[in-house]
Amino acid sequence: MGNMASLDLRQSSTLHSLVCQSILVLLCLICYGYGGLSGAKFVFDDTVAIVKNKNVNTLPTNWTAIFSHDFWGAPLLSADSHKSFRPLTTLMFHYEYALLGLNAAHMKFLNLLLHCVNTLLMWRLVRSLYVEDIDIERWATISAALFAAHPVHTEAVSGVVGRAELMFGLIHLLCLLLTVASADKQGVSSVSLILLLTAVGMLFKESAVTIPLSCIMLDYFQNGTYMLPLKLQQRVITTRLRYLCYLCGMLSLLILRLWWQNFEAPEFKPVDNPIAHNEQLLTRGLSQQYLYVVNFWLMLCPQWLCFDWALGCINLVTSIWDMRLQAVIAFYSFIIVSVMNFRRLAGLMLGLALMVIPFLPASGIIRVGFVIAERTLYVPSIGFCLVSVYGFLYCYQNYAGNIYCRAALQALLMLLFAVFMIRTRQRAAEWLNEEQLFNSALQVCPNNAKVHYNIARLATDNGNSSRAFQHYLKAVQLYPEYESALMNLGNLYREYGQLQTAEKYIRAALAAYPAFPVAWMNLGIVQSAQKKYDQALDSYRQALKYRSDYAVCYYNMGNLFLEQHQYGEALHHWQHAVAVNPRQPKAWANILTMLDNRGMYEDALRISSQALTQLPNEPSIMFIRANVLGKLKHYMEAETLYKQVLDLEPQNMLYHTNLGVLYHRWDKLDEAIECYQTAISINSLRATTARDNLGKLLKRLNRESYKEPQQ
């Protein structure tokens, strides 16, 4: 009978565990399935880190580049690098691209799966803890459910670049589970494994360097060290070999990581983090303390969420009399009271430790390129969920004899989960595409210049120039030294032929940031359009001074020399452009066009073969090669290439026209007529060559048909 009862108990426990885990996974799917699976697109930072990152979307795998470039694709040792070295995250993106193509939906789905795994790991971790005076099963289930549904996680889960945070969270939780499993054991195997996992985690996200500190704090509470007298605690901590190994290992990994970037610090602009660049020590210190409160508030009440908090979202705290400092005092008072009662509130202190430690790299101890980044709260929120639910259960257990208070607490908890789930689904929907994401930010931070800048950039890409002008001007009004907005506004005026106004804004961008190579190049383009060739050349040279491997600048210098009929110099600079960056289609096309125009057909065929090895499906290169083959009377090969080009761009009028010319030369007159007619139907105003050739061809056919009856 005893064995049967024991078996029934185990089965009941197993069933309970399966139900809990199923509910947690279902919560994740309900909250994030909408944003992760329905028409998802790459948004915001995804574009730079994935879509435009050649380390991600170039085959075969360039191992050297992946392990020598930063997360955004720039060389780690270059002045432009943010020093965010995450090669394993980049490698994950790369293999997803290789296997499934560049598709945001499957990448976000993998993020969602990782979030499900992290939720289950958190549940398992809390169940394995030993904390007095708390129902561990309830603490584990409610904390994990809160973690699953928390709206502040949306950026990490629905933004593809949040993969770094998710992998950091995964390894962090695994290390904590290992710490609990080895709490009563001696030996270095678990310590070595945790340090190895920390090293791997740092290749996903640099913040993983804090994992050993979290393990020390967890071990401190699990071994009951916190219950000893303070002097005895100090002696135990300083003599425990495991802690020394953790600290030495963490320090060694940190030094190795800094050595890999040549001990160079990243250079961020004031527009990225105005607080860190403020010259007043008091303002910088007070504002940073207030940021801690804002980060905590975002986890406590995630009503206002924004993809970028850099400019205009949070005003600087310039005086000790600023009323917002009351929130800072309250925040630190809560921490001090918790520390004073750390023996009685061990679970609360453990949660605080797991909230604070992973946040340290983003806390302003080192200069970072953001004011607030919601995705950096993903791992600290593990501790926040533990603290919140611990407080809830503490109150719930204190009202054991009052069924009405308990019922009220239960109702409030259910309401909280309902609100969080609705908010998370809403936020996940906003991360579906950039238009929804940027417009949502405008509701939260209407005076954020970066928000207006991104709305304007998106409007430019969509061809909505009036909206682009409106928001670029608003961004410049809010932050007059916003160099990127000034430059893009100048480029927009250039497209409308207002060259003097364009030059004024680009010069303003350079006044705000003189070492801005893109602005120097754009100034050269505007000056070239104004026939100020010498000034344009000087501007291009300034751009190359600040970025010597600037392929696009060499391309534009070639165009400048072409306008001055210096064909040798033009060809030389285009060749330099493709030598610096072989994936530069416009430079290849200009080289081939010049060789074609000079009648150097064999050279054009040879170089086009080289170009197609770098850009195998580039229509402009294939088109010019087809033109050259047609002139050499290699009609069948030329026809094949033209058809491949038309498969890529079926609505290109010029491609249909030139295929018609090929058939015309080849004496396939019916096919030529069909191609000319297609070109005219696509764009009758611009298809002058097709219209003229069609007219000549029809006259020829009329003459031939007129002569035949006479014969």
pLDDT in tens, 531-559: 999 999 999 999 999 988 899 999 999 99
Q: What one-letter code names the amino acid at 442? A: L
pLDDT confidence of 130, banded at 50, 70, 90?
confident
pLDDT confidence of 35, banded at 50, 70, 90?
very low
pLDDT in tens, 205-238: 999 999 999 999 999 988 888 788 888 888 888 7
Q: Which two tokens stand for residue 672?
A: 């030529």
pLDDT in tens, 438-456: 999 998 999 999 999 999 9
**Nearest CA-CA partner of 299 in 125, 147, 118:** 147
**Nearest CA-CA partner of 628 in 606, 613, 647:** 606
User: Which pTM does this prediction carry?
Assistant: 0.87
Cβ atoms of residues 381 and 147 within 8 Å: yes
Give CB contacts under 8 A, 24+ apart, made by 235-243. 242/191, 243/216, 243/219
* Per-residue pLDDT, 709: 54
Number of H helices, E strands in the chain: 35, 0
Q: Residue 18 CB: number of other CB atoms within 10 A?
A: 10
Reply yes or no: is the peptide bond before residue 582 cis, omega within 30 of 0: no
Mean of the pLDDT values across residues 4-20?
A: 71
Q: Would the pLDDT of 307 be above 70?
A: yes
> What is the Cα–Cα distance from 711 to 706, expressed in whole angstroms?
9
Q: b/e for 20-34, b at 16 or more Cβ within 10 A?
A: bbeebbebbbebbbb
pLDDT confidence of 189, banded at 50, 70, 90?
confident
Burial class (CB in 10 A: 0-12, 13-18, 19+), 525: buried
* Per-residue pLDDT, 383: 96
Average pLDDT, the chain: 90
In eight-state DSSP terms, residue 3 is H
Residues of the chain with pLDDT > 70, as a percent, come to 96
In DSSP terms, which residues pair with 75 in a beta bridge?
69
